[in-house]
Amino acid sequence: MKIKSISLKLLIILSLSILIFGMIFAGCKAGAVPETDEGLGVSSREEEMAIAEESPESVASEGEVSQDTTADTEIGDVPVTGDRKVIKNAYIELEIAAGEFETTLFKLTNLAEQNGGFISNSQSYSDAEGNMTSGNITLRIPSDKYNSALEKVKDMGTVKSTSSSGQDVTQEYTDLESRLRNYEAQEDILLDLMAQSKRVTDTLEVQRELSIVQEQIEIIKGRMQYLDDLISFSTIDVFFHEPEPITTTGWGFVESLKNGLRGAVKVLNWLAAAIILTSPLWILAGIILLIVWRVIKARNRRRARKEQK
């Protein structure tokens, strides 16, 4: 009987232990199951928000790593000729024939228009008589017609000086393309998160990050458009002028009289300045002479009195 009672007690204790462990296990499992928020799992939503809430610095740093790798690969695949993005600039100083300023200005303007380009800047200068004799003009010429247009400009007069340069912006342009793809991918993710957001706070947070990304996209597109303009249209700055007139100095009576008057005025100005500067010395000398004169006069008076006695 004792054995049976002991076995019964052990069986009850074992059953209670299994029941308690089962309840604990069920509670832990229930705590691990994510609660739903209108059909969306909290765990998946937290992962999505974590992506959207990444700081711009961390996103930028990760983007730069991928950009550098992509840029190196793409730059290595770009051929040396043909696909390079080069900004071409040239400067020419021309001396043209006398009286040909307006004609040359018309030729330069017509040259730009005939080649599908345009004039971005033009300035003219007149001489002492009011005639236009010099000026500078900036031509924007399509890059494929740059060399031929440059030679035609040189044929319009005597070349006094010239310089040209080419800036290779292939690497910068490739980096901009890589960064643009990266930000556009982030924009797509943020737009998806905004469409799935149900709470106002989540929507505002995503909107803030989205505005930062879209601002960077606009900046990159603006820079790429600026480079495209400089690459597509080369720049030729031209300064052209007529020969300077040769002046001779006359030796006539009127010219000599003018020169004499100028010299006399200079001498008078010098004397006036010298007198003003030395005026304290002149005053001191006058005081000393006055004292000496008074002393001599007084001595003569005493001497005259002695002789009368």
pLDDT at residue 2 in the model: 43
pLDDT at residue 30 in the model: 45
pLDDT in tens, the chain (309 residues): 444 455 555 556 656 666 565 555 555 444 444 443 333 333 334 444 444 444 443 333 343 333 333 333 333 333 334 478 999 999 999 999 988 999 999 999 999 999 999 999 999 998 888 888 999 999 999 999 999 999 999 999 999 999 999 999 999 999 999 999 999 999 999 999 988 888 888 889 999 999 999 999 999 999 999 999 999 999 999 999 998 766 555 556 666 777 778 888 888 888 888 888 888 888 888 888 888 888 888 888 888 877 776
pLDDT at residue 263 in the model: 83
pLDDT at residue 142 in the model: 95
pLDDT at residue 11 in the model: 55
pLDDT at residue 47 in the model: 44
pTM score, whole prediction: 0.51
pLDDT at residue 292 in the model: 87
DSSP the chain: -HHHHHHHHHHHHHHHHHHHHHHHHHHHHHHHSPPEETTEEHHHHHHHHHHHTS-HHHHHHHHHHHHHHHHHHHHHHS-SSSS--EEEEEEEEEE--TT-HHHHHHHHHHHHHHTT-EEEEEEEEE-TTS-EEEEEEEEEEEGGGHHHHHHHHHTTSEEEEEEEEEEE-HHHHHHHHHHHHHHHHHHHHHHHHHHH--SHHHHHHHHHHHHHHHHHHHHHHHHHHHHHHHHHEEEEEEEEEPPPPP-----SHHHHHHHHHHHHHHHHHHHHHHHHHHHHHHHHHHHHHHHHHHHHHHHHHHHHHHHH-
pLDDT at residue 46 in the model: 42
